[in-house]
Chain A
Amino acid sequence: MLRIEGLDVSIQSVSILRGVSMALPTGKFAGLIGRNGAGKTTLMRSVMGILPARRGTIRFDELPLDRMPAHQRARGGIGYMPEDRRLVPQLTVEENVLIPAWAAGVAEPQSRLAQVYKMIPEVEAFAGRKALQLSGGQQKLVALARALMCGTRLLLLDEPFEVWRRCWPTGSRK
């Protein structure tokens, strides 16, 4: 269960989230909708630990996340795909996908990597290329694979379906 209570988040003294509360049971999918600037991405970044909460609590399976750094959250099975990808351009695709596993100290990352490649075989096909050589759609795919590396219990995905719109614009969504 992801449980958020009374979450306030500010960025450079500008209040972005105001008293956000929600609870999402294990295994459920929730879609966040709203205008740009409404706070959707800020909520994701707060759950991942990239933005600190000014007030309120975030718990995942009763574990308090509030003051836990992002790499510890990754170790706990939380994966994040930012909307703007944030790949390291000079690293290969495979190295980019492995970054959160390295940061979190995941045991046997190659085993998880094989599972991720099974879910997104397209990424394995260009695993040896540098991220800077990829198209925007391919970069989104790699960012999704990177989120899946550690996101074995909770996935935070910022516009994931952009991947399908970019990579298979006329194909079926998977």
Chain B
Amino acid sequence: MVMEAVRAQQVTVLFVEHDMDIVNRYTHRVLAFYEGRIIADGEPASFSTMPRCAST
């Protein structure tokens, strides 16, 4: 309910998450961090082949 309300209000959201199922379900974009840098930036679907070191 919260996420749907936020989405309806056109709020921009950045959130940290470790569960890729949730990331895939709720995001338009995924930013993968590694040692202080963004090493991958794209749509969730493009992350199926991402380097394992970027995930938790």
Contact = CB atoms under 8 A, between A and B. Distances in A.
Contacts, number: 155
Interface in B1-56: 1-7, 9-20, 22-23, 25-38, 41, 44, 53-56
- Chain B residues touching A, majority SS: mixed
A88 interface: no
B36 A159 contact: no
A67 interface: no
A45 B45 CA distance: 27
A30 B56 contact: no
Contact of A34 (B5, B11, B12, B54): B54
Contacts of A151: 11
A33 B30 contact: yes
Chain A, interface size category, equals: 35 or more
A43 B34 CA distance: 12
Contacts of A174: 1-4
Interface of B: 1-7, 9-20, 22-23, 25-38, 41, 44, 53-56
